[in-house]
Structure formats: C-alpha cells, structure tokens
C-alpha cells in the first residue's frame, strides 16, 4: 500500500487510476512540451485552457503588491492546474522541472455538451483541489516549522518518492525559497530545519535537492503527533 497518513499536499497519492483519462488516445487531446524555467501562464491571463500535468513539476504562485510571494501548490503528474476565475488565471504557473501537459479547452469545465467524461473529470478535479487546499490551511495556520517540513517531505515521498534499498529517495526539484514560500517560512528556517533532521539522522542528503528518508516513523511522529 501507498498512502499511510493523511496526505495533505498530494491527496491523490496511491489513488486508483480512475483519474487517468484513457479515452484521450483516440480523442485527440493537445499536449504541450515545457522546458525548465518556462512560464505556462501568468496571473490575469485569459484562461483558454485548463492543464493536466503529464510529466515534470510545475509551481503555482501568487504575488502580493510588495513582492511577497506565496507558492500555492506544486503541480505533479496527474494534477489539474489552471482553474480560472471569471475566465482568467489567478496564479502564475512556472515550470520547475521539464515535462508535458495536456491541454483542455476551458469550456469543457462549464459545459458537458462536447465531452461528458472530460467534464466530469475536470469538475471532480476542482472539488479535489478544494479539499486539498483546506488541508493546507491546517498546515499554514497551526503547524511549527518542524511539523511543516516533516509533513511536506512525507507528502512528497508518498507522491513522488522512489525506493532506495530499504529507504526512500525524494527529489526536490524546487528551491529552498520555493519550499519556504509554500510552507510560510523563510529559506533560512527551511535550511536550518533540514539540517536539524539531518543531524538527528532522520534524513540524509545526497545533495541539496535529494533527500533520503532514513527514519520515516520519526518524520511521521514529528508531522502529526503534536
């Protein structure tokens, strides 16, 4: 089995594949290749498409007037991103890790005239998104730096971790400041907390962007006990 704890960031982890749309092969769905650093859409752009991440990792952000940034979420394969509001995107989407996305015309969200299954898929995804974000509120509002980081690593491990002997390896394609802006911390605090986990032998680092989880139980305890 896959998901052992409430997975706040990536609730789809370990889900059956019913969200994968098999019918896409025959119906011709446009795909688009994306390179690292590219911007898929900006806040305020007219939202002609809703995207499903096929591969790669995306970052969704909002910016305050004063330049403060909040990372809303990271888009992993299977995630649907770019839900519009009043026909426009309300976040910016940047490509953290090269990949491809499927493009669905926006009207598929509102009308089931053309494709009933697609419509249902997209509305379900929107509801999923709401639930997911509600979970993240708990995180931002109430958790300490340690709890936040532990939760984040667990979520990422469940979603995108790869086995490494008896351990699990996590690739962190995003920067420390991305993580900080996602968790409502500073880069320094993220870095310090990572170091703390490392010194306690809960995790090990291959490099700054590759984490090996040595003591999953300990991470779980930190994330959810207090």
Partner DNA sequence: CGTATCCTTGACGTGCGTCAAAGACCGTGG
Partner DNA sequence: CCACGGTCTTTGACGCACGTCAAGGATACG
Q: Which residues bind DNA (CB under 7 A)?
A: 144-146, 175-177, 184-192, 194-195, 205, 207-209
Which residue from 52, 39, 46 is spatially nearest to 93, judged by alpha carbons? 39
Contact window for a second copy (CB under 8 A) among 25-33, 106-114, 152-160, 203-211: 106-114
* Least Å from the CB of residue 119 to DNA: 39
Which residue from 30, 33, 47, 34 is spatially nearest to 104, judged by alpha carbons? 30
- Contact string 74-103 vs a second copy (x = CB under 8 A): ---------xxx----xx------------
Identify which of residues 157 and 190 has a Cβ nearer to DNA in the complex: 190
Q: Is 72 in the site for a second copy (CB under 8 A)?
A: yes
DSSP letter (8 states) at residue 151: H
Identify which of residues 31 and 188 has a Cβ nearer to DNA in the complex: 188
Identify which of residues 16 and 163 has a Cβ nearer to a second copy in the complex: 16
* Cα–Cα distance for residue pair 90/102, rounded to 1 Å: 19
Q: In this structure, are residues 74 and 182 in contact, taking their beta carbons and an 8 Å threshold? A: yes
Q: Is 66 in the site for a second copy (CB under 8 A)?
A: yes
Residues contacting 126, CB < 8 A, separation 6+: 80, 83, 109
């Amino acid at each position: 089995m896959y998901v052992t704890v409430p997975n706040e960031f990536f609730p789809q982890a370990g889900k059956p594949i019913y969200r994968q749309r098999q019918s896409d092969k025959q119906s011709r769905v446009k795909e688009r290749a994306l390179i690292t650093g590219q911007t898929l859409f900006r806040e305020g752009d007219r939202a002609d498409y809703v995207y499903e991440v096929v591969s790669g990792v995306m970052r969704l952000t909002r910016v305050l007037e004063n330049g403060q940034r909040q990372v809303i979420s990271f888009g992993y394969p299977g995630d649907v991103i770019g839900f519009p509001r009043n026909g426009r995107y309300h976040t910016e989407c940047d490509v953290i890790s090269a990949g491809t996305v499927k493009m669905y015309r926006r009207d598929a969200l509102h009308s089931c005239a053309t494709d009933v299954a697609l419509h249902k898929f997209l509305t379900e995804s929107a509801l999923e998104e709401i639930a997911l974000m509600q979970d993240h509120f708990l995180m931002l509002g109430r958790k300490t730096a340690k709890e936040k980081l532990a939760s984040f690593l667990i979520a990422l491990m469940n979603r995108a971790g790869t086995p490494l002997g008896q351990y699990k390896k996590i690739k962190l394609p995003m920067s420390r400041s991305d993580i900080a802006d996602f968790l409502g911390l500073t880069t320094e605090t993220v870095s310090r907390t990572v170091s703390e986990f490392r010194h306690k032998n809960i995790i090990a680092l291959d490099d700054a962007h590759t984490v090996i989880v040595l003591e999953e139980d300990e991470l779980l305890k930190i994330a959810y006990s207090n």
